[in-house]
Amino acid sequence: EAQVTQNPRYLITVTGKKLTVTCSQNMNHEYMSWYRQDPGLGLRQIYYSMNVEVTDKGDVPEGYKVSRKEKRNFPLILESPSPNQTSLYFCASSFSEGHGYTFGSGTRLTVV
């Protein structure tokens, strides 16, 4: 089944403790992206990647890192999480620009 898999689904952590949210897709898509969803703000792009080793900042990249060493994986790294990064995070992948992104099921992160 074609899908985007992100883990974990739920995570509660403390301020400053480094964490990684994994994302993997099995569709051989070139485009991958991370979004956060917050009430009243919709979905905001954090980082995106057009291919292996090619990444760029989205609208809200501060406090996040990404890497794209393999085509299928696009982990999101929070080096020193803070409470304002408490949010619902989505990973997505796409064949190309203009084609619909396929989204993962989301990761609900709480930073206390």
Partner 1 sequence: DQQVKQNSPSLSVQEGRISILNCDYTNSMFDYFLWYKKYPAEGPTFLISISSIKDKNEDGRFTVFLNKSAKHLSLHIVPSQPGDSAVYFCAASVTDKLIFGTGTRLQVFP
Residues that bind partner 1 in the complex, under the rule CB under 8 A: 4, 31, 33, 35, 40-45, 48, 50, 56, 58-59, 90, 92, 97-106
Complex with partner 1: residue 2 or 14, whichever CB lies closer = 2
Estimate to the nearest angstrom the gap between the alpha carbon of 2 and the chain centroid.
18
Estimate to the nearest angstrom the gap between the alpha carbon of 18 and the chain centroid.
15
| Bridge partners, 66 (sequence order) | 76
Least distance in Å: CB of 74 to partner 1? 14
Complex with partner 1: residue 17 or 57, whichever CB lies closer = 57
Burial 54-69 (b: 16+ CB within 10 A, else e): ebeebebbeebebbbe
Least distance in Å: CB of 89 to partner 1? 10
- Among residues 74, 67, 78, which one has the least CA distance to residue 14? 78
Least distance in Å: CB of 95 to partner 1? 11
Complex with partner 1: residue 17 or 99, whichever CB lies closer = 99
